[in-house]
């Protein structure tokens, strides 16, 4: 299997025990000089699944992008392991209909690859049938799969997914995490950095949870974070959107829910 082979060939560059990313006292400012993050310290180890939770506007996306080097930081330091390969799936992708681009072409823009490799990547996310579809015609869930396939095509050792289940119905969310578990079981070395609102599901799937609201409020194993007072306080202050999703799960367990 070409993809996992490519991952294996990237791996020897990394010292076996060295963490993939270490952030020292990282701060980040917005376009108008306002502080978004301050004094963040964290480590992402190889093979670890780290989830970032927190309120909207709390800096989850900013932190993710600082860690993978997609955004400048205003203070501190981020060390990335030599040979780190990031596969990133942003929160959303707005493709205008005026650009003709099918999913296969979109994947080809992400990494030099053969058609066969692109088909394999799509197959892994259960989206092989999307290859010839126009990107602008995809639903939210299909777009997420295309983004994930593009991220996987880069043979990453870190998969950074920013709210990958945003806008999916309950079934779609469950399906997504099942898919992620399958990808992970095929590549135990793969680290995953996940930004999410699906608190209950995420907690179960993660090795470590970070609760971020301008800084890291609390961090630890899911069961520890769940009982942490800072986390409970934050969840109380969680925006209505996340709460709605949360309650939704309780109210509509037997019904198909339309996509947002």
Partner 1 sequence: MDEFYAFFGGAFMLRAALAGAAAAALAGPLGCFALWRRMAYLGDATAHAALLGVALGLIFSLPIWIGAFFVAFAVATGAGLLAISGRLAPDAALGALSHAALAIALVAVSLAGFGAPDLEAYLFTGDPLAASPSEIGAYAAAAFVGLTLIVWFWRRLLNSTLSPELAAAEGDRPRLAQIALMIALAIYVALAMRLVGLLLATALLILPAAAARPLSSRPEMMAAIASMLGVAGTALGLAASAHFDTPTGPSMVTALFVFFALIVGLDALRRRL
Report the nearest approach of partner 1 to the CB of residue 132 (Å). 8
Q: Which helix (H) or strand (E) holds 211?
A: strand 208-212
Rounded to 5°, the CA angle 203-209-211 comes to: 110
Report the nearest approach of partner 1 to the CB of residue 228 (Å). 30
Burial of 202 (0-12, 13-18, 19+ CB in 10 A): buried
Going by their DSSP bridges, the two strands 49-53 and 75-80 should be labelled as unpaired
Residues near partner 1 (CB under 8 A) are 31-32, 65, 68-71, 86, 88, 90, 93-96, 98-102, 105-106, 109-110, 134, 147, 154, 160
Matching residue, tokens 């823009």? 109
Report the nearest approach of partner 1 to the CB of residue 86 (Å). 6
Q: Which is nearer to partner 1, 93 or 257 (CB)?
A: 93
Report the nearest approach of partner 1 to the CB of residue 187 (Å). 19
Q: Which is nearer to partner 1, 106 or 231 (CB)?
A: 106
Q: Which is nearer to partner 1, 119 or 230 (CB)?
A: 119
Rounded to 5°, the CA angle 157-18-45 comes to: 55
Q: Which is nearer to partner 1, 71 or 184 (CB)?
A: 71
Q: How would you label 167-197 residue by residue, b for 16+ Cβ within 10 Å and e otherwise? A: bbbbebbebbbebbeebbeebeebbbbbbbb
Report the nearest approach of partner 1 to the CB of residue 231 (Å). 28
Report the nearest approach of partner 1 to the CB of residue 125 (Å). 16
The angle, 0 to 180 degrees and rounded to 10, between the axes of the packed helices 103-110 and 140-153 is 30
Q: Which is nearer to partner 1, 161 or 201 (CB)?
A: 161
Q: Which is nearer to partner 1, 162 or 238 (CB)?
A: 162
Find the Cα–Cα–Cα–Cα dihedral 240, 253, 126, 47, rounded to 10°: 60
Give the separation between CA 124 and CA 132, rounded to whole angstroms: 16
């Amino acid at each position: 299997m070409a993809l996992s082979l490519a991952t294996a060939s990237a791996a020897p560059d990394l010292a076996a025990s060295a963490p993939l990313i270490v952030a020292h006292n990282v701060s980040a400012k917005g376009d108008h000089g306002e502080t978004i993050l301050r004094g963040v310290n964290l480590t992402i180890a190889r093979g670890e699944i780290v989830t970032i939770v927190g309120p909207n506007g709390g800096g989850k996306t900013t932190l993710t992008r600082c860690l993978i080097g997609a955004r400048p930081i205003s203070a501190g330091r981020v060390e990335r392991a030599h040979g780190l390969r990031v596969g990133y799936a942003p929160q959303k992708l707005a493709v205008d209909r005026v650009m003709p681009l099918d999913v296969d072409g979109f994947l080809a823009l992400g990494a030099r690859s053969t058609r066969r490799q692109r088909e394999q990547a799509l197959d892994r996310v259960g989206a092989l049938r999307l290859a010839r579809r126009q990107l602008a015609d995809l639903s939210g869930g299909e777009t997420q799969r295309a983004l994930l396939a593009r991220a996987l095509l880069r043979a990453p050792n870190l998969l950074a997914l920013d709210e990958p289940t945003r806008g999916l119905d309950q079934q779609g969310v469950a399906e997504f995490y099942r898919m992620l578990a399958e990808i992970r079981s095929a590549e135990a070395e793969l680290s995953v950095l996940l930004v999410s609102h699906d608190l209950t599901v995420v907690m179960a799937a993660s090795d470590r949870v970070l609760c971020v609201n301008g800084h890291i409020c609390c961090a630890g194993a899911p069961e520890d974070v769940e009982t942490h007072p800072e986390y409970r306080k934050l969840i109380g202050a969680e925006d209505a959107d996340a709460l709605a999703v949360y309650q939704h799960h309780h109210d509509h367990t037997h019904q198909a829910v339309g996509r947002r």
